[in-house]
Amino acid sequence: MSTHNVWTHKGTFLLAAVGSAVGLGNLWRFPYLTGENGGGAFILIYALTIFAVGIPILIAETMLGRASRRSPIMGMRFLTRCHNTSRAWESIGWLGAASAFMILSFYSVIAGWAIHYTWQMLTGSLVGADAEMIGEGFDALLAAPGLLTFYHTLFIVASGLIVGMGVHKGIESGLRIIMPALFAILLVVLVYGIANGDFAAAASFLFTFNIADLSLEGWLAAMGQSFFTLSLGMGAIMAYGAYMNSEVSLTRTAIAIAIVDTSVAMVAGLAIFSLVFGAGLSPGQGPGLMFVTLPLAFAEMPFGALVGGVFFILVLGAAISSSISLIEPVAAYLVERFDMTRPQAVALMVVASWALGLLTVASFNIWAEGTLFHALAGRSPFEFIELLTNIFMPLGGLLIALFAGWALTHSEVMKEMRTSETWFMIWRFLVRFVAPAAVSFVFLRTIPQVEGYLIPTIGALVIVGAFAAGRTFLADGHQEG
């Protein structure tokens, strides 16, 4: 018997999934990738991959959660027994839980930086600061393990308190406040950027269709972004899907999630780059854009301290909406498997992930590049943990596509999808063949550190996947005769 409840309102799953998808990556990574990889050409490839890969796997992962009404680990155990398939498929749940646990550990540390900059902005500490001063401030933050640990602790405790309050009082109530507030703040920052920045330059940077700038690496980046932006393969969507009302359309909801997630990234890009170009600055990549370039832009504009503070509150809200989705898969498993109370399960998950996060804290100072640890290990603990998640998430997504596409029966899928036979056939083709192939290529981009092993690894995955899929396909044929 499942211990799960169902979302109070039909639209809550949409809010929850969008909250999980909209995070730090939407606010700087996607706009930067778009501008550097052909603008509109990158968006076109991204949109096609979202349709062919992201949405089919999103539907599949949600379907597995709703069909089992359990946490990802217990849900896959239930589904493998129902379909008389190998227990190896349970690895889908374990991969998702492991990914969520590890991502939360370093995500919390990086999100903690936004706490620092929210305070700096609202107190006016950066007013009139120049590039050198802001750059030195960021370096000083990374060099202070005590301060990083303090922010890391604040952020992860806040996330844990929301999830610990329960599905309805905690996650659902929190998302109903956080998500509308995020959209409102984003629009305020966009209007401010249009009024005080260079909106035309931002639009040109993002949307100029230049196919010549779209290299093979750009194609792979678009495919990878379309997968990772929807939070696929880390258990969150499956966990949230377990609470989804049976009457809600999987297809319409998945399409809405993809549209809202992409729209947020686009609006954020226009707002951010309007400010960056308006201040005469160059767009940077990664943390440098958000934590060095943007503070400098705000420091040079009217009411910049106030709007900058509001912007970093937006960053914190987006990060928290994602982090609560990372806590839920593991917490739900602990509740179901060991009969823990929700506060106990959340506390155990949060404390363990917080402890692992200390390795990420040390990666920017004690064990940074140039230290003995980095020299011996070849990478920092943060880089190693990130590498593992970059393997686990696509692998989990690949297995989700294969299991949903081959093991679930026609009648079962039609019952969950409530759609036409035509769309069912399109979805099944995409999730059986197109999505697994595309997700395999994601490995080409996400794990270049092991490039020498890529071909045999992907080859082995395809062989194992084909063998497993063939067995379940034959089982389906026997059952449906």
How many domains is the chain built from? 1
Contact between 403 and 64 (Cβ < 8 Å): yes
C-alpha distances in angstroms, 445 versus 221, 433, 439, 441? Answer: 7, 20, 10, 7
Higher-confidence residue: 378 or 254? 254
3-state SS assignment for residue 81: helix
Least confident range from 105-114, 331-340, 380-389: namely: 380-389
pLDDT band at 17 (very low <50, low <70, confident <90, very high): very high
User: What amino acid is encoded at 285 in this protein?
Assistant: Q
| Complete DSSP assignment for 341-399 | -HHHHHHHHHHHHHHHHHHHHHHTTTT-TTSHHHHHHSS-HHHHHHHHHHHHHHHHHHH
Rounded Cα distance between 424 and 414, Å, is 7
Q: Which helix or strand (DSSP H or E) is residue 231 part of?
A: none
Decide if pLDDT at 466 tops 60.
no
For residue 3, what pLDDT band results from cuts at 50, 70 and 90? Answer: very low
Residue 68, pLDDT > 90, answer yes
Backbone angles phi, psi at 11, to 5 degrees: -80, 0
Mean pLDDT for the stretch of residues 74-82: 95
Sequence-ordered list of residues with C-beta below 8 angstroms from that of 167, at least 6 positions apart, any chain: 4, 5, 7, 243
What is the pLDDT at residue 456? 53
pLDDT at 476: 47
Cα–Cα distance, 265 to 277 (Å, whole number): 18
- Percent of the chain at pLDDT > 70 equals 89
Q: How confident is the model at residue 474 (pLDDT cuts 50, 70, 90)?
A: very low
Determine, yes or no, domain membership for 1: no
* Residue 156 pLDDT level (bands cut at 50, 70, 90): very high
Query: Would 221 be classed as within a structural domain?
Result: yes
Are the C-beta atoms of residues 475 and 83 closer than 8 Å to each other? yes
Q: Which two tokens stand for residue 111?
A: 């999100």
Q: From CA 30, how far away is CA 19, in angstroms rounded? A: 16
Which of 77-91, 200-214, 251-265 is predicted least confidently?
200-214
Q: Residue 418: left (phi > 0), alpha (psi -120 to 50), or beta?
A: left
pLDDT at 452 over 60: no
Under the banding of pLDDT at 50, 70 and 90, the label for residue 350 is: very high
φ/ψ of 39, rounded to 5, equals 60, -110
> Look-up: residue for tokens 């379940």?
472
Which residues make Cβ contacts (< 8 Å) with residue 131, sequence separation at least 6? 292, 296
Q: What is the reported pLDDT for 464? A: 56
What pLDDT, on the 0 to 100 scale, is given for residue 26? 84
Question: In this model, does residue 1 exceed pLDDT 70?
Answer: no
**Average pLDDT of the chain, as a whole number:** 87
Would you say 226 and 445 are in contact if contact means Cβ atoms under 8 Å apart? no
Q: Looking at the domain assignment, is residue 164 inside a domain?
A: yes
Is 4 contained in some domain? no
123: helix, coil or strand?
A: coil
Residue range of the domain that includes 152 = 12-480
Domain membership flag for residue 451? yes
Residues 175-233: pLDDT tens digits?
A: 999 999 999 999 999 999 999 999 999 998 888 887 877 787 788 888 888 888 899 99
Phi-psi region at 339: left, alpha or beta (left = phi > 0; alpha = psi -120 to 50): left
Res 35: pLDDT: 78
For residue 153, pLDDT over 50 is answered with yes
Burial class (CB in 10 A: 0-12, 13-18, 19+), 295: buried
Whole-number Å distance between alpha carbons of 325 and 179: 13
CB 159 within 8 A of CB 350: yes
Q: Which residues share a beta bridge with 39?
A: 209
Say if 108 falls within a structural domain: yes
CB 156 within 8 A of CB 355: no
Task: Give the residue among 243, 281, 287, 259 at the shortest CA–CA distance from 142.
Answer: 287
What pLDDT does 109 receive? 96
Q: How many CB atoms are located within 10 Å of the residue 157 CB?
A: 15
Of the two residues 58 and 276, the one the predictor is more confident about is 58
Indicate which CATH number applies to the domain containing 441.
1.20.1740.10
Cα separation, 6 vs 4, whole angstroms: 7
Residue 337: per-residue pLDDT: 94
Query: Among 254-268, 326-340, 375-389, 417-431, which stretch is predicted with the lowest mean pLDDT?
Result: 375-389
Amino acid at 132: E
Distance in Å from the first CA to the final CA of the chain: 30
**Averaged over 407-429, what is the pLDDT?**
91
User: Cα torsion at 210, 212, 213, 218 (round to 10°)?
Assistant: 110
**Residue 283 in contact with residue 293, Cβ under 8 Å?**
yes
In a domain, 2, yes or no: no
Please report the pLDDT score of residue 2 as a whole number. Answer: 44
Side-chain-facing half-sphere of 308: CA atoms under 13 Å = 32
Nearest to 153 by CA among 305, 334, 350, 385: 350
Contacts of 320 (CB under 8 A, 6+ apart): 111, 155, 158, 159, 162, 178
248 inside domain:
yes
What's the rounded Cα separation, in Å, for the pair 36 and 265?
Answer: 15
d(CA 389, CA 101): 10
How far from 459 is each of 333, 411, 439, 466, CA to CA, in Å? 32, 32, 13, 11
Match 């109070």 to its residue by tokens: 8
Q: What pLDDT is stored for residue 62 in this prediction?
A: 96
Q: Which residues of 111-128 are buried (b: 16+ CB within 10 A; e: fewer)?
A: bbbbbbbbebbeeeebee
Answer whether 435's CB lies under 8 Å from 401's CB: yes
Better pLDDT: 131 or 97: 97
Of 29-38, 299-308, 346-355, 452-461, give the range with the top mean pLDDT: 346-355
pLDDT tens digit sequence for 266-281: 999 899 989 988 988 8
Residues 280-317 have pLDDT tens digits of 887 765 567 888 888 988 988 889 999 999 999 999 99
Q: Rounded to whole angstroms, how far apart are CA atoms 103 and 125?
A: 31
pLDDT at 257: 94
Residue 420 has pLDDT above 80, yes or no: yes
